[in-house]
Structure 1
């Protein structure tokens, strides 16, 4: 397999070598579900889907995990500010979990169309 991965620690491209022979696992950060998905979500989704398909094409058994952030994503870049999901729930006069579930469902419906 001829796949190179950018290593931000070494600031270099390095050959991809699975930790466990014949297997590859991907953990991908998913959306923070306080509003509808946007182009950035779609780009990440498609990019990792292409990588996953290539790894499978190369014969690797794959595990793909993507999270959904439904709490704790603050308005500012620092560890301060208001939680985006809680703010949106207040704006919609809904429970935070209902907002998270609705936008999660809408996200995956949109990504399925890609």
Structure 2
């Protein structure tokens, strides 16, 4: 039996899903205004391990990770470099995804 810590109730509880046999994971990814670092990798790794464990346990898993690509830090950095903020964000998203594949 899988148990998880529920931050709302502040208790360890038995893991349960809204739909039997299915898990949906929405994970916050990096804010893409600079090169990826070990903290970004750690977050991606932890949730990848959780996803793999759930799949191993015969759950159908939908795992989604976002990228924050509109943020003051991105706008400031893009302005400093004289490029569009969306171009900057896409550049670092691509780089992050490449690092995850390596």
- Interval containing the TM-score (normalised by the shorter chain): over 0.9
TM score, norm. by length of structure 1: 0.86
Runs of 4 or more, structure 1, over 3 Å off, are none
Q: Distance in 2 between matches of 1:100 and 1:22?
A: 36
Aligned to 2:62: 63
Question: SS where residue 68 of structure 1 aligns?
Answer: coil
Aligned position for 2:18? 19
Separation in 1, partners of 2:95, 2:11: 37
Kindly state the Cα deviation for residue 93 of structure 1 after the two structures are TM-superposed: 1.1
Work out the CA distance in 2 between the residues paired with 1:92 and 1:99.
9
* Higher relative helix content: 2
Q: Kindly state the Cα deviation for residue 101 of structure 1 after the two structures are TM-superposed.
A: 0.4
Per-residue CA deviation, residues 61-103 of structure 1 (Å, 9 max, x unaligned), is: 110111110113xxxxxxxxxx000001011111111100000
Q: TM-score, length-normalised on structure 2? A: 0.95
CA distance in 2, matches of 1:95, 1:71: 11
For 1:105 and 1:3, locate their aligned partners in 2 and report how far apart those are by CA, in whole Å.
35
CA distance in 2, matches of 1:91, 1:100: 14
Cα root mean square deviation, aligned: 0.9
Is 1:105 aligned to 2:82, yes or no?
no
Shift of 1:13: 1.6
Question: How much has 1:37 moved relative to structure 2?
Answer: 0.9
Within 5 Å, give how 1:1-114 maps onto structure 2: 2-72=1-71, 83-113=72-102
Distance 1:67 1:21 in 2: 25
SS at match of 1:98: helix
Structure 1 Cα separation of the partners of residues 93 and 14 of structure 2: 34
